[in-house]
Amino acid sequence: MDKTYIEGASVTRGSGTEEYGGQLALWGVIPLWRAAPPPDTVLTLRKPTPSDCWPFSGSYGEILIELTRNVQIKAISLEHIRPDSARSAPKNFTFYGILENGTWVNVAEGEYNGKGPAKQYYRFNWSLPLKKIIFRILSNQGNTKYTCLYRVHFYGK
């Protein structure tokens, strides 16, 4: 795995979430060019720069984050580039942990402050180890066309 990514994690877009930009294909079949970065861009460790995000259509969407092993997560951070001027930044969100038996548990919810620092931290209110996490964005800072996710990082043991 590329060392610029969080080791042992993968990201896929959630059900009903459409990438903004998507792919261009020859005859609708042969992929020619990817207009949007892949969802795992949110796990990169590099400092975000403009357009170094995963965009999805509208203001509501989700990603599924899978870890290679169970991890006891204590907090998460969301980071956006220049949040004070970015209407595409997430606003209200919820994190769900998925237990071994498939049960969804609400482990964190919050609001990304569009006038706050670029990187903002949120505590998890769950102490059991998790292997799968759903990050659901409920709204953004006002962009009706798309939302841009720059970085989502986890902290724990």
pLDDT per position as a tens digit, 102-148: 889 999 999 999 999 999 999 888 778 888 999 999 999 999 999 99
pTM above 0.85, yes or no: no
Range of the domain at 69: 9-156
Query: How sure is the predictor about 91, in pLDDT bands with cuts at 50, 70 and 90?
Result: very high
Is 47 part of any domain? yes
Domain CATH code at residue 141:
2.60.120.260
In whole angstroms, what is the distance from residue 123 CA to residue 56 CA?
A: 25
User: Does residue 96 lie within any of the structural domains?
Assistant: yes
Is 3 inside any structural domain? Answer: no
Domain count, the chain: 1
Q: Does the residue 81 lie in any domain?
A: yes
Does a structural domain hold residue 100? Answer: yes
Q: Residue 1: inside a domain, yes or no? A: no
Tell me the DSSP string of the chain: --TTB-TTEEEEEPTT--BSS-EEEETTTEEEEESS--GGGGGB-SPP-TT-SEEEESS-EEEEEEEEEEE-EEEEEEE-SSGGG-TTSB-EEEEEEE-TTS-EEEEEEEE--TTS-SEEEEE-S--S-EEEEEEEE--BSS-SSEEEE-EEEEEE-
The reply to whether 74 falls in a domain is yes
